[in-house]
Structure 1
Amino acid sequence: MDLKDIRREIDTIDSQLLPLFVQRMDCAKKVAEAKKRDGIPVHNAAREEEILDRISAKAGLYSGAARIVYRTIMSESSALQHRLLGSGGTLRKTIAAAPKVPAFPESVACLGGPGSYSHSVVSSLYPRAQVQFYNRFDDIFRCVEQGNAGLAVVPMENSSAGSVSDVYSLLMQCRFYIVAAKTIRVHQCLAAKESSPASVRCIQSKKIALQQCSRRLSALHLPLQPVSSTSAAAKAAAEDASIAAVCSESAAHKYGLHILERDLQNTDNNATRFAVISRQLCIPDNAEKISLCFNVAHTTGSLNAVLSRFAAAGMNLTKIESRPIAGKDFEYDFYLDFTGNVRDPAVLELLCSLQEELPRFHFLGNYCEVHTE
């Protein structure tokens, strides 16, 4: 057989498979009706694994591929049943009750001090708010939790140094929401009390800032000392001529430092994404990014089955990463960002079905993200 003949054979097989798939999905509708009548949950993990084991045993050489295909089919069947049954009532109510415009905060908490990158984001988003500075992320979250600040601005990730793991952990632990985000270009400089670097004996900055500038800093052959923030490093440099700070130029000017070098960062497109967090969910009409945190069953193909639901719904994933769950052996939460608006019925149905099925699920927010140079 030549290639054309083989392709014709494949087309014939596909023409037989598609009606069977449609017939199977129609059966899923009948299953939904029966489960609603009898009060039975949509998801039956034990039955799924029983079917998948049977399929795998019969598929021979194609065992793994068959398992993935059938898990995807069953995942879409479950999604259809959830949609027909209106699952996820709690999440639906939470989203429906969310205001479109957040209350203007009297105060906003952030990391560092005057001149820090977090401070610049707060100033641009909430210029009239009082700023509360902290040196630790858990203090920032506690401040919001106790109502001492209406909002907080925290760095989520850097384009070259990666995610700020402490923030992700605290976000899940406190069950706060992301109500806005802003990404800024980060231009790090080396600054010191004196105009000559001769007196400098060490370099201080926030750990992630030192990582952003690792190539240039390694060539200076000076000890690196992580501190709580870039502005804290600038303040220390202003008090001690033996310390140079990796910080923003605005922080250098704020503390009267001399700029020894500009643009220390490893890449020209160095950027940091900041999130605005709140105890109260707020979803503007033009929200275009959604963040989630969830856990999946510790079985082969479980994560793939979840991700396939996003693909089937036409959702564009922009980020996914895993974090170990405290107190669990090799179990992970997955943090995921994708583009969409929860007022789109397809998006809402997807989230509600996942909330019903997954062992751990937290909707982190639907918000707008601003990008600036």
Structure 2
Amino acid sequence: MSENKSFDELLLPVRNDIDRIDKELLKLFTERMQCAERVAEIKRKAGIPVLNAAREQVILDRVKKEAGEYGDSAVALYSAIMSISRARQHNMLKSGGVLRDLEQNSPKTLKADPRVICQGAAGAFSHSAALRLFPGQKPIFLPGFRDVFEAVHNGAGDYGVVPVENSDAGSVSEVYDLIMKHRMFIVGAADIPVRHCLCRAKGTGAVKKVLSKHEALVQCSAYLAAHDIETEAYSNTAAAAKFIAETRLEGVGAVCSAQAAEEYGLEVIAADIQNTDNNCTRFIVISREAVLPEDAEKISLCFSLPHTPGSLCHTLERFALLGLNLTKIESRPIPERNFEYDFYLDFTGNVHDVQTLALICALSDEMPRFSFLGNYKES
């Protein structure tokens, strides 16, 4: 650094060059966006889609070659520019007509006095979730997740309450698969604290084996291993408690909630045996039809991506540009397609917001597989 010039003085001419270049770039960017608008009008008249992946790839290959050592950076820049251009075209063409109709015409509130269906039995954590989400209602209990989905799908119930994720054991994969199989909407959610107890029928001796739902056994694995207790998966925590109460098997207990233990008259041997103190399960409400409250706060989507480098990154960037906060992303194999995946995405937002709706509509037009799963409130 020159002894006669300060750092700012040395930097000033470079900053002036940057400001001049930025001014030129902004002018060129504006002109490019105007070209994108003209393209949209031509596409509207021709009835062709906004996304032309082959054309975009040609541009990216060219700029990478021409930019030399800055090739990868140039690709990132042009990918963002083309994404913004597509978004503008989608807005002009009002893409995603089906979703726009859904946003306009779906009910804004849940049904009054609904028929609510849960998996398991009275005293299960799904029971607690149902009471949180539908105060005063008496849920109908069915043995398995598949039974709940089929009952709602067939109209035997208005809403189903099922778990999708536990803070300790992770996602409930079967539920995600059933959502897509039955094309259900998510219309509500609740986070329920999970407190597991080791229980037995009174007078049945030391517990050497326990029955419970697989996820519950995983959540209590440390305690059960430390006490050398054998485990066996059962359909539901409360159903396991009910079975133990009815059969009074010697040396066999259940892992369940304190509510289930009380419901079936079991003796609590040890409380709070879960691995972590902040164990929590997220339950969702499934429905045949979408319900889109004006104050909904979370959106769930499912989509697949084209097999091109950076496709997931470029998709997520579009949420970042709108300041939308992603709260969950998970991949699930697509049945009968080797090494192809659907992505489940949760983010905070409201479908009644113009920009958010425009983004979802654009994605629905561009993705090979796309499902809008719902926009709902969390209790």
Provide TM-score, normalisation by structure 1.
0.93
For residues 247 and 38 of structure 1, do their structure 2 counterparts lie closer, same or farther at Cα, with a shift above 3 Å needed?
same
Structure 2 equivalent of residue 217 of structure 1: 224
Q: Which amino acid aligns with 2:46?
A: D
How far apart, CA to CA, are the structure 2 residues paired with 1:242 and 1:150?
41
Q: Specify the alignment match of 1:368 in structure 2.
A: 377
Partner deviation per Cα, 1:255-287 (whole Å, 9 max, x = no partner): 111111111111111111100110011111211
Give unpaired runs (5+ residues) of structure 1.
none
2:208 maps to amino acid: R
Q: Are residues 1:314 and 2:314 paired?
A: no
Task: Say whether 1:143 aligns with 2:143.
Answer: no
- The question of 1:190 aligning with 2:214 is answered no
Q: Is 1:72 the equivalent of 2:72?
A: no
What does 1:84-163 align with in structure 2 at a 5 Å threshold?
A: 84-163=92-171
Structure 2: which amino acid aligns with 1:346?
A: Q
Matches of 1:141 and 1:37, distance apart in 2: 43
* 1:263 counterpart SS class: coil
Residues 131, 47 of structure 1: alpha-carbon distance in 2 compared, 3 angstrom cutoff: same
- Once the two structures are superposed, the pairs formed by residues 1-373 of structure 1 within 5 Å of their partners are 5=10, 8=15, 10=18, 13-194=21-202, 198-238=205-245, 239=247, 240-370=249-379
Q: Secondary structure at the match of 1:199?
A: coil
Letter in 1 for 2:190: K
Aligned residues: 369
Contact 1:68–1:301 (8 Å) recurs in 2: no
Asked if 1 retains the 8 angstrom alpha-carbon contact of 2:186 and 2:286, the reply is yes
Q: Cα gap change, 1:244/1:14 in structure 2, threshold over 3 Å: closer, same or farther?
A: farther
Query: How many angstroms apart in 1 are the aligned matches of 2:162 and 2:212?
Result: 17
The TM-score with structure 2 as length reference comes to 0.92
* CA distance, structure 1, for counterparts of residue 338 and residue 207 of structure 2: 45
The AA in structure 1 aligned to 2:239 is A
- Report the residue type matching 1:359 in the other structure: P
Q: Cα RMSD over matched residues?
A: 1.9
Structure 2 contact 220–274 (Cα < 8 Å) conserved: yes
Return the alpha-carbon distance in structure 2 between the equivalents of residues 166 and 105 of structure 1. 28
AA partner of residue 161 (structure 1): A
The whole-number CA distance in structure 1 between the counterparts of 2:244 and 2:69 is 65
Contact 2:224–2:230 under 8 Å retained in 1? no
Is 2:128–2:192's contact at 8 Å kept on the other side of the alignment? Answer: no
What is the distance in 2 between the residues matched to 1:152 and 1:177?
Answer: 11
Q: Deviations over 1:180-231 (max 9, x none)?
A: 11111111111111378x5322111111111111222221112111111101
Q: Kindly provide the CA deviation profile for residues 76-117 of structure 1, in whole angstroms up to 9, marking residues without a partner as x.
A: 110110001111111111121101112235421111101001
Task: Tell which structure's C-alpha radius of gyration is larger.
Answer: 2
CA distance in 2, matches of 1:46, 1:81: 17
SS of residue in 2 equivalent to 1:369: coil
One-letter amino acid of the structure 2 residue matched with residue 248 of structure 1: S
Provide Cα deviations, 1:297-348, integer angstroms capped at 9, x if missing partner: 0110111111111111121111111111011111111111111111111111
**Secondary structure, in 3 states, of the residue corresponding to 2:32?**
helix
Per the alignment, do residues 55 and 105 of structure 1 end up closer, same or farther by CA in structure 2, a change over 3 Å counting? farther
Structure 1 SS opposite 2:139? strand
Structure 2 Cα separation of the partners of residues 246 and 278 of structure 1:
30
Q: CA deviation at 1:63?
A: 3.2
Change (3 A) 1:250 1:257: same
Task: Tell me if the contact between 2:208 and 2:228 (Cα under 8 Å) persists in the aligned partners.
Answer: no
Partner SS state of residue 343, structure 1: coil
